[in-house]
């Protein structure tokens, strides 16, 4: 029985809403799967779906993710029954990129009347098996709005559909990993693991806040240079690890013009990537050699290595305020400054600990070059990463433009917005805390440059932090180089 929106939001779980797929319903990789020829379009623009189906006819149901009284998503459109067919086996290049560019389109989807937002296209076969295709209808502009960015780069980097990702090949061998990946293939597992864990729970809470929102993807930060003009804020989800050089430059310019930033996870801006074209258009291939010696651009500012790596080192702390620290992280989110404005109404005091909110991966603040001088650590959380003991930091800094930049320092934060998470021992008080802070945040982001009313109060020097990450699990930090100027 479906859970109605009038019931307790914590009771809404996996498979209890029409848009949710039960584990037993998930189709196999070539049984039923699909991808779109764009990661996003504007409302009214069309896109094509490429679907393989060995189970015969299927239908497509387009659900827009949002609060919707606690239901989590709303049905916007349903296709007619589509004759299914088995598409060819995917191609694999010498660089171990798996591509379904050889598939033929199954249908063209018109988006007239679709509101901007995050969408789950639910493919349902005649045998009851199902799969998602995540998609974004992007906003025409973010002016006057809080822009939420879907981290499609990171989702694709981890995608192992066809047996290969930027992390591993068959048998999970890192030595057989892809050196580049393409958006022209389905996602693995249920088709939407990344957005369901690290993005959509944030969208649902954001829409509940009632503030004016806009939507885009990682690709759009490069492809649509005017998108960020006049944005009140830009919000990144629970795991936004892979960034292009132009995207980082665009976000930095927006911050320096007064646009607030919020990093709702950890491990942000860790790997540098760049795009290439394929027959479906520009920005469809993402290069991720992860080793300058392998990259044809081996001595270029866009070499696909860690952002903190020499010789073109632009450590992430100059944008996020922190450095990636370690994984697998585990611990309570521990409040250092209960008077921090985003903690209002939570009842938090000095040392209040919220069970399990530090999870999966964590960030930490270091007093090194690039760290903002007025960085304010608002939560300083004892954390374990396997046998190693460290801390995870939640931080805030402000800029001369008035922009405020907040970071949770933990990937688990966004997942906790959905409800208690037994895997990380996240209980209801932790969920309630994360939701309240997130609602406070969206209200503050939408009000304009946060630094004008809430300037950061530096406190990093008093935390007896270590001065170097030379031996840390996040990797050695190179000497920061000047960021290259964008091409005119």
Q: How many CB atoms lie within 10 A of CB 283?
A: 21
Q: What is the DSSP letter of 451?
A: G
Q: Is the dihedral of CA 225, 44, 280, 84 positive or negative?
A: positive
Segment 160-174 mean pLDDT: 97
Q: What is the pLDDT of residue 470?
A: 66
CA nearest neighbour of 185 among 116, 271, 280: 280
- Label residue 313 by pLDDT band (50, 70, 90): very high
Exposed / middle / buried, residue 81 (Cβ in 10 Å: 0-12, 13-18, 19+): exposed
Please state, for a pLDDT cut of 70, what percent of the chain lies above it: 95
CA nearest neighbour of 364 among 466, 479, 485: 466
Inform me whether the pLDDT recorded for 8 exceeds 70: no
Phi/psi for 272 (5° steps) reads -95, 135
Inform me whether the pLDDT recorded for 357 exceeds 70: yes
Q: How many CB atoms lie within 10 A of CB 300?
A: 14
In this prediction the pTM is 0.95
- Label residue 487 by pLDDT band (50, 70, 90): low
Inform me whether the pLDDT recorded for 446 exceeds 90: yes
Q: What is the DSSP letter of 267?
A: S
Segment 268-273 mean pLDDT: 98
SS3 category, 311: coil
Q: CA neighbours within 13 Å on the CB side: how many for 449?
A: 18
d(CA 157, CA 177) in angstroms, rounded, equals: 11
Please state, for a pLDDT cut of 90, what percent of the chain lies above it: 89
The domain limits of the chain are: 232-488
Segment 440-458 mean pLDDT: 98
Inform me whether the pLDDT recorded for 61 exceeds 70: yes
Inform me whether the pLDDT recorded for 104 exceeds 90: yes
d(CA 173, CA 54) in angstroms, rounded, equals: 29
Q: What is the pLDDT of residue 10?
A: 35
CA nearest neighbour of 272 among 293, 252, 297, 243: 243
pLDDT in tens, 127-144: 999 999 999 999 999 999
Q: Is the dihedral of CA 331, 197, 113, 261 positive or negative?
A: positive
Inform me whether the pLDDT recorded for 468 exceeds 90: no
**Averaged confidence pLDDT in the chain:** 94
Q: What is the pLDDT of residue 460?
A: 95
Q: Phi-psi region for residue 383, left (φ > 0), alpha (ψ -120 to 50) or beta? A: beta
User: Given the DSSP bridges, would you call strands 242-244 and 271-278 parallel, antiparallel or unpaired?
Assistant: parallel
Q: What is the pLDDT of residue 9?
A: 33
Which residue blocks in 230-282 are alpha helix, DSSP H? 245-256
Segment 316-326 mean pLDDT: 96
62 forms bridges with which residues in the sheet? Answer: 77, 121
Q: What is the pLDDT of residue 293?
A: 96
Q: What is the pLDDT of residue 14?
A: 35
Q: What is the pLDDT of residue 484?
A: 82
From 197-206, 236-245, 270-279, 457-466, the region with the lowest mean pLDDT: 457-466
Q: What is the pLDDT of residue 55?
A: 94
Q: Phi-psi region for residue 177, left (φ > 0), alpha (ψ -120 to 50) or beta? A: beta
For residue 93, give both structure tokens.
């290049």
Segment 187-215 mean pLDDT: 98
Q: Strands, DSSP E only, in 112-204?
A: 117-125, 130-138, 146-150, 180-182
Q: At which residue do the structure tokens 């009347």 appear?
A: 113
């Amino acid at each position: 029985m479906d859970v109605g929106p009038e019931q307790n939001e914590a009771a809404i779980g996996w498979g209890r809403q029409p848009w949710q797929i039960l584990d037993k319903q998930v189709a196999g990789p070539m049984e039923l799967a699909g991808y779109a020829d764009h990661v996003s379009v504007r409302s009214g623009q069309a896109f094509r779906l490429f679907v393989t189906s060995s189970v015969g006819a299927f239908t497509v149901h387009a659900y827009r993710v949002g609060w919707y009284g606690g239901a989590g998503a709303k049905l916007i459109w349903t296709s007619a029954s589509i004759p299914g067919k088995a598409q060819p086996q995917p191609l694999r290049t010498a660089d171990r990129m798996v591509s379904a560019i050889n598939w033929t389109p199954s249908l063209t989807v018109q988006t007239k009347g679709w509101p901007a937002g995050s969408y789950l296209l639910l493919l349902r076969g005649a045998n009851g098996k199902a799969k998602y295709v995540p998609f974004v209808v992007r906003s025409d502009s973010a002016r006057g709005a809080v822009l939420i960015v879907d981290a499609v780069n990171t989702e694709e980097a981890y995608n192992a559909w066809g047996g290969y990702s930027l992390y591993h090949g068959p048998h999970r061998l890192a030595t057989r990993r892809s050196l580049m990946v393409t958006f022209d293939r389905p996602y693995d597992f249920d088709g939407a693991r990344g957005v369901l864990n690290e993005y959509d729970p944030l969208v649902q809470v954001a829409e509940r806040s009632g503030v004016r929102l806009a939507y885009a993807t990682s690709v759009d930060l490069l492809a649509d240079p005017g998108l960020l003009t006049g944005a009140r804020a830009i919000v990144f989800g629970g795991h936004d690890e892979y960034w292009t050089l132009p995207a980082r430059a665009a976000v930095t310019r927006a911050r320096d013009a007064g646009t607030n930033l919020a990093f709702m996870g950890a491990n942000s801006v860790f790997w540098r990537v760049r795009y290439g074209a394929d027959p479906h258009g520009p920005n469809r291939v993402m290069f991720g050699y992860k080793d300058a010696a392998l990259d044809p651009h081996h001595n270029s500012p866009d070499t696909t290595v860690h952002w903190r790596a020499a010789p073109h080192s632009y450590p992430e702390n100059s944008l996020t305020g922190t450095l990636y620290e370690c994984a697998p992280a585990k611990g309570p989110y521990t409040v250092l400054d209960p008077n921090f404005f985003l903690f209002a109404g939570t009842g938090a005091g000095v040392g209040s600990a919220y069970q399990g909110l530090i999870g999966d991966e964590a960030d930490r603040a270091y007093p090194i070059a690039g760290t903002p001088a007025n960085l304010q650590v608002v939560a300083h959380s004892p954390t374990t990463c396997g046998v190693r003991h460290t801390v995870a930091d939640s931080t805030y800094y402000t800029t001369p433009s008035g922009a405020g930049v907040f970071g949770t320092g933990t990937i688990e934060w966004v997942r906790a917005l959905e409800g208690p998470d037994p895997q990380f021992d996240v209980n209801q008080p932790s969920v309630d805390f994360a939701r309240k802070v997130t609602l406070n945040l969206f209200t503050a982001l939408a009000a304009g440059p946060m630094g004008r009313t809430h300037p950061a109060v530096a406190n990093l020097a008093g935390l007896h932090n270590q001065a170097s990450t030379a031996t840390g699990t996040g990797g050695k930090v190179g000497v920061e180089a000047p960021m290259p100027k964008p091409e005119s």
